Amino acid sequence: MSTLITPAELDAALGEVTVLDVRWRLGGPPGAEAYAAGHIPGAVFCDMDRDLAAPPGKGGRHPLPTAEAFQEAMRRLGVRGSRPVVVYDEADSMAAARAWWTLRYFGHPDVRVLDGGLRAWTEAGLPVTTEVPRVEPGDFTAVPGGMPMLDADGAATTKVLLDARAPERYRGETEPIDPVAGHIPGARCAPATGNVDATGRFLPPEELRRRFAAFGAVPGADVGAYCGSGITAAHQVLALHLAGVDAALYVGSWSEWITDPSRPVATGDE
């Protein structure tokens, strides 16, 4: 079964799956406002900052939530361990991928991403609604360890470490969010925006395989991904998964790396 789902496939499965709307953009506007303006029928809004991350701090801007906190959030959203979950965002799956990864990390066995997001849904002529569904509490039990994860030391020693941010942030030419510019020494610049086409849909697996092979990210290699705060990098891990490459996520990413001034910082191209 593919990790991706098409609008037609989701439409046929409505009522049999839990649908989470994970629309979010760094700097806003809030995803809850977009959800209120219209969403896929039956979808429940999943808040990136509240439901998929712990509060900012030493672990970065979007640290991994505790198992207890994540379990409570998912049960509140109606997630059940035996019921498939479909996640979506506006179009490019940058936010939805974090929900996919976090659910998989905490042990949910069946999570799929709507390829192309809400844009693909509406372009297919499928309906949206402003009706907020009544949610039956879920029974999901969060068990950590379902996906490989890196800490700072692991990121420093990973043989193929992909930086999913924009090239100018990788090179340290600009840093609009974090207080230090640059990248983890040895990391390769592989912007996650290159994983999707102009519509926000993922490239075909064979194209993703060619893209990642150019960085040395091939099946069996020691591969990891990071970004600013572990959101875009989850998209990278998903794209690698679609290409048949297992990769670990550095959840704290750059925003956690720079909390320790003894960690080295590289700039420019490598």
Which of 196, 194, 259, 183 has the alpha carbon at shortest distance from 226? Answer: 183
Secondary structure class of 202 (helix, strand, coil): strand
Strand order in the sheet with 18-21: 4-5, 111-114, 85-88, 18-21, 44-45
Half-sphere CA count of 250, side-chain side, radius 13 A = 29
Strands (E), 49-182: 85-88, 111-114, 149-150, 160-163
Distance (Å, whole) CA 46 – CA 250: 22
227 has catalytic annotation: yes
Residue 247, phi then psi, degrees to nearest 5: -140, 150
Label residue 134 exposed, middle or buried (CB < 10 Å: 0-12, 13-18, 19+): exposed
As a whole number of angstroms, the distance between CA 131 and CA 117 comes to 19
Catalytic residue among 227, 237, 245, 247: 227
The alpha carbon dihedral of 178, 237, 11, 106 has a sign of: negative
Which are the catalytic amino acids? 227
